[in-house]
Amino acid sequence: MNKTYVLDACALMALLKNEIGADVVSGIYNQAKNHEAAIFMNRVNLLEVYYGFYHDDGKGYADGILNKIIESLIEIKEFDIKIFYIAGRLKATYKISLADSIALAQAILLDGVLVTSDHHEFDFLIDKETIRFHWIR
């Protein structure tokens, strides 16, 4: 059975910037290439990645990275009404960032594993929600 992974922005940034944890995300990407896994990301979380590159490297570089991501094996999901309700509940209940609540909601909706490095954002949720995490560092 294929595994379903949902990337948050820090996981994709680690891969694209070859930071610590890039090898873990690359391994997941290889699983997707071998049809052993599917990789998803919400459009709002992709915006975080685009913003990061735009801020650090300028529009042209950010546009090029965005095009590569769109053409990759990562399926970009829309912000739909189901995400709206789940993310809203998570944000209101735990007072986490909007982007983090959306990544978590996407993982819940897809019954997937959230790929992240953000222990400081998510560790407290481990016993409170049925969200599975794949830590990259």
**Number of domains the chain is built from:** 1
Q: What is the DSSP letter of 129?
A: S
Contact predicate 117/135, CB 8 Å: yes
Q: Pick from 82, 15, 14, 3: which is nearest to 42 by CA? A: 82
Residue 60's pLDDT is 98
Residue type, 134: H
> For the range 127-133, what are the long-range contacts, defined as Cβ-Cβ under 8 Å and sequence gap of 24 or more?
128/94, 129/90, 129/104, 131/104, 131/107, 132/107
Q: What digits encode the pLDDT tens for the residues 58-117?
A: 999 999 999 999 999 999 999 999 999 999 999 999 999 999 999 999 999 999 999 999
Burial degree of 78 (CB within 10 A; 0-12, 13-18, 19+) = exposed
Residue 2's pLDDT is 82
CATH classification at residue 92: 3.40.50.1010
* Domain, as residue range, for 36: 3-135
